[in-house]
Structure 1
Amino acid sequence: MSSDSLIKMANQIAQYFATEPDHTLAVNGVRQHIKSFWTPGMRRDLLAWEKKHPDAALHPLVLAALVEPEVNA
């Protein structure tokens, strides 16, 4: 899957969870969705892309969700 598609999907997930008033719950929602519904390869590709483009346009909830090591599992 292309990086553009992964970024778009990750940002859409974050937009959904952005309506959650509790920031921690929102980050956990994004993290759990990515862990539950994305393949390990998709997660690795998104993480690798983010490391190469740290100033890119990933939603802040996605960035916060990627910080946790369990998203890699």
Structure 2
Amino acid sequence: MSSDSLIKMANQIAQYFATEPDHTLAVNGVRQHIKSFWTPGMRRQLQDWQQMHPGAVLHPLVLEALTEPEGTT
């Protein structure tokens, strides 16, 4: 899958969870959705892309979900 498609999907997931008033629940929701519904290869590809392009075009909730250990946000 192309990185552009993964970025678009991750940002759409984050947009959905952005309506959650509790920031921790929103970040954990993004993290859990990606963990539950994406293949390991998709997750690895998104993480590799993010490491090569830190902070670029990913929704802040996605960035937090990728970079912070579960439950620490």
- Structure 2 counterpart of 1:30: 30
Question: Where has structure 1 moved over 6 Å in runs of 4 or more?
Answer: none
The 10-residue stretch of structure 1 (53-62 or 25-34) with the greater mean CA deviation from structure 2: 53-62
Kindly tell me the number of residue pairs found equivalent between the two proteins.
70
Deviations 1:43-72 (A, max 9, x none): 0000000001113110000000001356xx
Deviations 1:4-57 (A, max 9, x none): 000000000000000000000000000000000000000000000000111311
The question of whether the paired residues in 1 share the 8 Å contact of 2:55 and 2:63 is answered with no
- Are 1:17 and 2:28 an aligned pair? no
State the identity %. Answer: 86
TM-score of the superposition, structure 2-length normalised? 0.91
- Unaligned runs of 5+ residues in structure 1 are none
- Unaligned runs of 5+ residues in structure 2 are none
| Partner amino acid, structure 2, of 1:51 | Q
